[in-house]
Amino acid sequence: EKNKIDRRNFIKLGSLGATVVITWPLLNSCNGFASENKNTINPDFQADLDFELTAKETDIQLFHGNTTKVWMFEGNVLDGDKTTVQKLGKSYLGPIIRVRKGQKIRVRFKNQLPEESIVHWHGMHVPEEDDGHPKDVIANGETYVYEFEIMNRAGTYWFHPHPHGRTGPQVYNGLAGLFVVTDDEEQRLKLPSGEYDVPVVLQDRQFDNNNQLVYLNRGRMDRMNGFLGNRILINGNPDMKLSLKSGCAYRLRFLNGSNSRFYKLAWEDGTPLVIIGKDGSLLDSPKSKPYVMLGVAERIDVWLDLKNRPQGSQMIMKSLSFSPGMMGMMGGMIGRGRNNLPLGSTYEILKINIDKTGSNDFELPQRLAEFNKLDPATAVNRNNPRTFRFFMRRMQWTINGRTWEMTGVTEEETVKLNTTEVWEIVNRGGRMMGNDDMMGERGWMRNRGEMDRDRGMMGGGMQMPHPFHIHHLQFNILERDVSGVDSRIWNSVKDGFIDEGWQDTVLLMPGMSVKLIMRFEDFKGLFLYHCHNLEHEDMGMMRNFKIE
């Protein structure tokens, strides 16, 4: 660990003025950059699990008739327990990788795609060179070696590509997989495991008459909204059924792996959803919810008890209707005609056929994980949080008015190692935006603008939900401020948020802001924070932050 930090000491050179953008390659040249030798293994790194992860184009049989061309991660264990890299059946998704806290893993990522790529371990606390930053992309034919120790708590994480401007299409084509971490604390709880620990990756896609994936092809407005498909796939499979056993309890690990779509998940018959985990942790105790809002990239672990459900019965999960705000509704409108799943409408997600019978003795524990949340009193900026506003400016999605720069980072985005901070993330305009902002001065949007003027700012512009994500750490949510949210929106989603535990992604409806508390520890380096609507991300709603 010490060594890892030392290697990154050159970053200290970067304590420059507020407006200075620090450009990484310059620093690299004066101090060997870790990434340079990431195409070879470190023989001193004793890996518990060593595997190849190859990204390649392939044809799979998803439907009757024509095969579908997809991009897919293929896992191949070189050393370690082969069952921990588990292939899904009929699916384009990558393998489920199961690891335990404290283990060391080596992943040899091989890029066989016709373009550059790099893999990011979403939610994992890893050094900069293992984080899959877009600056570390490798070309077709190259290998990138990740070597890191699992430092995270038990939780449901995932991996996906992260090249700048191409994350949306690469994930869409199939490149994503679950990364499941367990630890001693979780093992003691005896939660459902093996066949009773079931992945449920939600994604929307659209296929043409030849069974080929259709991505965005309808111009800029489409990308502003993000991709919305016309059908839901579960675990990379268009047949959205699971077959489970009466008499048994299950742990369902939901990941919203969609590009832009988010869900208001509920059991059709009104059974509450029992949530036991969110993103990077189990909750302290199970929480019962009428429905859950699941933003892009968010995960929830759901307890499902089929002990009293007869064989032959069915459970259906739906996404219920809600108001996504102006742009979300437009997305639905634009898609209409072709898209029978507008964002915010009601539609079916998943059918559970209870067509077998069995028994297991997993009991829902009343106490799950023990943890102390970060204490606001320990934050260096408790009364003066860093504020990051997510809004549209001159037809660009921005963060505080800035868009993506590969290695650019400002003082405002630079934090100190071993400190705790409060960040305020705001889904609302930040400055005078002028008439070039579509609809910014009109109608419903105008009310938003007036609201911001009360805070001494002129806001507005197009508003959409944004799922905020930060790399490298798990945060706690201190508060969700909904005073700026249109009441139609708020009333339709208000019971669906899970703000306890440790998480790395949080969904912000239009007008919403959240205060997050986070700690920067163990590693210095350059990491990302961004909107996880992948089309927004690709359009530049992504920035670096630096730990120095």
Residues that bind Cu ion (CB under 5 A): 122, 466, 471, 531, 533, 536
Segment interacting with ligand C2O, rule: CB under 6 A, options 103-111, 267-275, 414-422, 528-536: 528-536
Min CB(104)–Cu ion separation in Å: 21
Residue 530 interacts, among ligand C2O, Cu ion, none and using kind-specific CB cut-offs from 5 to 8 Å, with ligand C2O
- Judged by CB, which is closer to Cu ion: 390, or 497? 390
- Judged by CB, which is closer to ligand C2O: 7, or 162? 162
| 296 near ligand C2O, rule: CB under 6 A | no
- Interface of this chain with ligand C2O, residues 422 to 481, rule: CB under 6 A: 469, 471
**Which position has the token pair 């003082």?**
411
| 122 near ligand C2O, rule: CB under 6 A | yes
Element of type H or E holding 72: strand 68-79
Q: How many CA atoms lie within 13 A of 289 on its CB side?
A: 26
Min CB(469)–ligand C2O separation in Å: 5
Query: Looking at this protein, which amino acid is placed at residue 244?
Result: L
Neighbours of 146 (CB within 10 A): 21
* Strand, helix or coil for residue 6: helix
The closest of 53, 36, 61, 48 to 87, measured between CA atoms, is 53
CA dihedral 419, 422, 423, 424 (to 10 degrees): -170
Residue 533 interacts, among Cu ion, ligand C2O, none and using kind-specific CB cut-offs from 5 to 8 Å, with Cu ion
Residue 536 interacts, among Cu ion, ligand C2O, none and using kind-specific CB cut-offs from 5 to 8 Å, with Cu ion
Site string for ligand C2O, 148-167 (x = CB under 6 A): ------------x-x-----
- Judged by CB, which is closer to Cu ion: 224, or 350? 224
Query: Looking at this protein, which amino acid is placed at residue 418?
Result: N
- For residue 372, the Cα-to-chain-centroid distance in whole angstroms is 24
Residue 153 interacts, among ligand C2O, Cu ion, none and using kind-specific CB cut-offs from 5 to 8 Å, with none
- Judged by CB, which is closer to Cu ion: 301, or 538? 538
8 Å CB contact between 125 and 471 = no
Residue 162 interacts, among Cu ion, ligand C2O, none and using kind-specific CB cut-offs from 5 to 8 Å, with ligand C2O
Query: Looking at this protein, which amino acid is placed at residue 476?
Result: N
Min CB(536)–Cu ion separation in Å: 3
Min CB(126)–ligand C2O separation in Å: 13
Min CB(513)–ligand C2O separation in Å: 21
What is the distance between the alpha carbons of residues 444 and 487, in angstroms, rounded to a whole number? 13
What is the distance between the alpha carbons of residues 344 and 247, in angstroms, rounded to a whole number? 34
Q: Which residue is nearest to ligand C2O (CB)?
A: 122
Min CB(311)–ligand C2O separation in Å: 39
Residue 71 tokens read as 């991009």
Backbone angles phi, psi at 104, to 5 degrees: -110, 135
Neighbours of 323 (CB within 10 A): 19
- Judged by CB, which is closer to Cu ion: 473, or 531? 531
Min CB(528)–Cu ion separation in Å: 7
**Which position has the token pair 């949007």?**
445
Residue 251 interacts, among ligand C2O, Cu ion, none and using kind-specific CB cut-offs from 5 to 8 Å, with none
Segment interacting with ligand C2O, rule: CB under 6 A, options 8-16, 184-192, 299-307, 527-535: 527-535
Q: Which of 11, 233, 249, 297 binds ligand C2O (CB under 6 A)?
A: 297
8 Å CB contact between 513 and 425 = yes
List the strands of the sheet with 241-246, edge to edge: 241-246, 347-357, 313-319, 263-267, 292-294
Residue 466 interacts, among Cu ion, ligand C2O, none and using kind-specific CB cut-offs from 5 to 8 Å, with Cu ion
Min CB(532)–ligand C2O separation in Å: 6
Query: Looking at this protein, which amino acid is placed at residue 44?
Result: D
- Judged by CB, which is closer to ligand C2O: 106, or 532? 532
Query: Looking at this protein, which amino acid is placed at residue 136?
Result: D
* Strand, helix or coil for residue 526: strand
| 530 near ligand C2O, rule: CB under 6 A | yes
8 Å CB contact between 99 and 179 = yes
Q: Please enumerate in sequence order all residues whose Cβ is within 8 A of that of 226, keeping only pairs 6 or more positions apart, or say none.
A: 168, 259, 260, 261, 331, 533, 534, 535, 536
Residue 160 interacts, among ligand C2O, Cu ion, none and using kind-specific CB cut-offs from 5 to 8 Å, with ligand C2O
Residue 166 interacts, among Cu ion, ligand C2O, none and using kind-specific CB cut-offs from 5 to 8 Å, with none
Binding residues (CB under 6 A) for ligand C2O: these are: 120, 122, 160, 162, 297, 469, 471, 528, 530, 532
